[in-house]
Structure 1
Amino acid sequence: MNSYRAFIYLSILLSAGCVKTASIPPADLTFSSVETGPKNLLIINFSSTVDLANAFNAYENANQLTPTLTCSLDGDMNFSPEHSISMRAEGLVATDSEIKSNFGFYSELVFYNTRADGTQHDLNDYEAIRPRLANQSSIPCKVRITAYGYKAYYTNTLFVPTKQITEQIYR
């Protein structure tokens, strides 16, 4: 290996360890409603105390990826980037232009199950979801936002009532 390549590899290794924590304030999320959307996907409507669509730009002057809402269906509260929740619902977060008073958002959720061997499949038949929801009064959710050079930002926990989800599933 020549010295140029060694320098490049060393630079990459050093820069990989220089990940900053964003100074975005903790966002409180408030549940609004659940509805059935196109392709029979569940849509979670909620508001936030922080503009999730522009958080990194506003507080860090950095470009961010589209925020993602992740909900745990199995009671797993570990939302860290190093951990995968085995039974979860995920969806990209979009701005709800109809809500003016607070930052309004929605997310069209896809349900996933990660097996022990690491393979994953979606559970949008809802029959597999019903037993998980029957034993819970609510499911915990968080929005994750990422930007290059920063640790993943997570909001405070949003609890979505399972009663409203099951009402949409049984329609």
Structure 2
Amino acid sequence: MKTLLTVLAAVLCISCTKHPVLPSTDIRFVSISDVGGSALFEVRFSSKTDLLSFFKDNTGEGQLGEALICSLDKTPDFVKWQDVVRSVQGEITEVDNAGTVGHVYSASMFAMQATDGGVSSSFVSVEELLVILKERDSIFCKVFTSAYSYGPYYSNVMSIPVSDFILVVKQKRGL
């Protein structure tokens, strides 16, 4: 009985612990360009936050990876990655951290569409992407990262002007 009460008390104490509140992170669009000879686009953006060590800096815990996710859906703001059916996404790498803007990152992005309720996905062709982009003024992106104990984390929203994106898509098509 003593052991049961001790275990129960420990479980109750653990369930009451709170994760630290993680700071919000702003990201700012820098540029978009074609990655020649492939279906990829390079998106550069900046942040005053070191996104590659976000969890280590704020919780002491390691991260599981970082990605930039841009929604192509009609409702562009999303709470979690699984909410996005059509997206442009890619892993991020740091390309500069010496400037006044803080850290500059690059993401080699590709267009995807979730099918079967998110069970599988397929690539969106350049032609389909152009049609989707022409229906919008901007596309909205967030940086995604996660850690085992904290789950997913999303940055604040960054806007990419569709006119910049369409210009790069047309270059890719040779127009």
Q: Give structure 1 regions of 4+ aligned residues with deviation exceeding 4 angstroms.
A: 17-22
Aligned residues: 154
Q: Distance in 2 between matches of 1:155 and 1:25?
A: 9
TM-score by length of 1: 0.81
Q: CA deviation at 1:51?
A: 0.8
Task: Compare the two structures and name the one with the higher strand fraction.
Answer: 2
What is the letter of the counterpart of residue 90 of structure 2?
G
Q: Which residue of 1 aligns with 2:134?
A: 134
What is the letter of the counterpart of residue 130 of structure 1?
L
- Structure 1 pair 70/20, CA: closer, same or farther in 2 (3 Å)? farther
What is the letter of the counterpart of residue 53 of structure 1?
L
Whose relative contact order is higher, 1 or 2, with alpha carbons under 8 Å and at least 6 apart? 1
* 1:121 aligns to 2:122 (yes or no): yes
Moved more, 125-134 or 110-119: 110-119
Q: Distance in 2 between matches of 1:31 and 1:21?
A: 30
* 1:35 aligns to 2:33 (yes or no): yes
Q: What 5-or-longer segments of structure 1 have no aligned partner? A: 1-16
Q: 8 Å contact 1:20–1:149 — kept in the other structure?
A: no
Larger radius of gyration: 2
TM-score by length of 2: 0.79
Q: Distance in 1 between matches of 2:62 and 2:49?
A: 16
* 1:25 aligns to 2:26 (yes or no): no
Structure 1 residues 28-48: Cα deviation after superposition (integer angstroms, max 9, x where no partner): 111100011152411110001
Q: Distance in 2 between matches of 1:20 and 1:65?
A: 21
Secondary structure, counterpart of 1:169 in structure 2: helix
What is the letter of the counterpart of residue 158 of structure 1?
M
Q: RMSD over aligned Cα, in angstroms?
A: 2.3
Q: CA deviation at 1:19?
A: 9.7
Task: Compare the two structures and name the one with the higher helix fraction.
Answer: 2
